[in-house]
Amino acid sequence: MAKYDERFKLKVAREGARGTAGLREVARQYGLDYSMVRRWVDNYREHGAVGLAKKHSRYDALFKQRVLQRIRDEGLSRRQAMTLFGIRSPGVIAVWQRQYDRDGPDALTPACERRPSMPSKKPTIPKPDEELTREELLKELAYLRAETAYLKKLDALIQEEQAATRANKRKPFKD
């Protein structure tokens, strides 16, 4: 996605807002997509030059719900809501609607706020072999045997696959 500086956006938006040429003509003149020019002009008309400034923000769940509620209540299009609320990213409202429709209002809360952080586990320091109980030793032995069996099986599968590949390479081509 091309990035344009604010002065360029402002120049295009002012020209489009002036109305001397249609938005499609302005877009063609600058080699831009019509919908982008329309968005810039709408943001300029609604918020002035500030509406074209870069905006790096995260929206909280309440804001997202307000946007979706206004779309439902007033029958706004996503583009109109984007302009009205100063949202810069064109697809974000559609994402919010899908999340809300699929999982309800809780889906609009960022994941980092929804889930409590995991308690930090201190790394366990293994006991010396002399201090392990008979049950602990048997459990470790069973684990190691299973791990060894798994690795042997994996090695056998790899060797089998390599042998099959070599066998396929040796077959002469027949017409």
pLDDT tens sequence across 26-49: 899 889 988 888 888 888 888 888
State the Cα–Cα distance between residues 160 and 164, nearest whole angstrom.
6
Q: Report residue 96 as tokens.
A: 């919010």
Q: Looking up tokens 């923000």, which residue turns up?
A: 57
Cα 28 to chain centroid, rounded: 32
Task: Report pLDDT for 114.
Answer: 54
| Assigned token pair, 168 | 């396929």
Domain spans of the chain? 1-54, 57-114, 129-165
| Cβ atoms of 107 and 100 closer than 8 Å | yes
Average pLDDT, the chain: 83
Burial of 106 (0-12, 13-18, 19+ CB in 10 A): exposed
Mean pLDDT, rounded, for 98-110: 84
Amino acid, res. 123? P
pLDDT for the residue numbered 21: 80
By percentage, how much of the chain surpasses pLDDT 70? 87
Q: What is the pLDDT of residues 76-85, one digit of tens each?
A: 888 888 888 8
Asked whether 83 and 40 are in contact (CB, 8 A), the reply is no
In angstroms, rounded to a whole number, what is the distance separating the alpha carbons of residues 53 and 72?
28
pTM for the whole thing?
0.47
Q: Tell which wins on pLDDT, 13 or 2.
A: 13
- Average pLDDT of 113-134? 73
Mean pLDDT over 117-130 rounds to: 74
